[in-house]
Amino acid sequence: MIFWGCMFSGKTTELQNVKNRFQHAGMNVMLLNPRRNTRDSDLVRSHDGQTAEAVQFGSKDELLTYVDRSKPDVVLIEEAQFVSYIREVCDELYDRKIHVFMAALNETFEGNPWPCIRDILHTCEVHQTWAVCRDCSSMRACHSGCIADTAPDDDGFLPGGESEYKALCTKCFGTHLEKSNHSNVQNTDT
């Protein structure tokens, strides 16, 4: 299963709830956090303040080594959009009869799908999460609008939190992109 939505829509909280349910049932649960997630390393932290211990990994081999050592019944993967090899990992874990749950952003800061997530959606149960639009208070915010004047890193990632992003509905996201593109045009003209 994948919890899939924009920032501030409760994906990490949902993942932590799954962790708690399986642990309550006596199952061995492993929470994994990709090294690319710069918010925390050995913790997964939701925007509402919940924390849970996690194992940080940087490669497919490292992730599978941790799984081999821990022998979990359930693997939870935070920020799965940062794991370009997520399809291979899921296939391997499914073959081992390990339950897999992920939290992932539905799109990049530019409004484009994350390729690795797009390629796996048809193989999982998808739970779409929603946020409240920070501009118009619509209950159907599904975009993460970048509000910081920050350039993406070399890989095109623009990591951040509340000071860099806000949840937006489709209408407000379109307006946001128009303003952003207009601003970029003005900045190059000066």
Active site residue ranges: 79
14 near 105, Cβ under 8 Å? Answer: no
Residues near 95 by Cβ (< 8 Å), separated by ≥ 6?
none
* Cα 151 to the center of its chain, rounded Å: 20
Classified as helix, coil or strand, 7 is coil
Name which of 161, 164, 138, 162 is nearest 151 in CA terms.
164
The Cα–Cα gap between 16 and 9 comes to 14
Classified as helix, coil or strand, 47 is coil
The Cα–Cα gap between 55 and 178 comes to 40
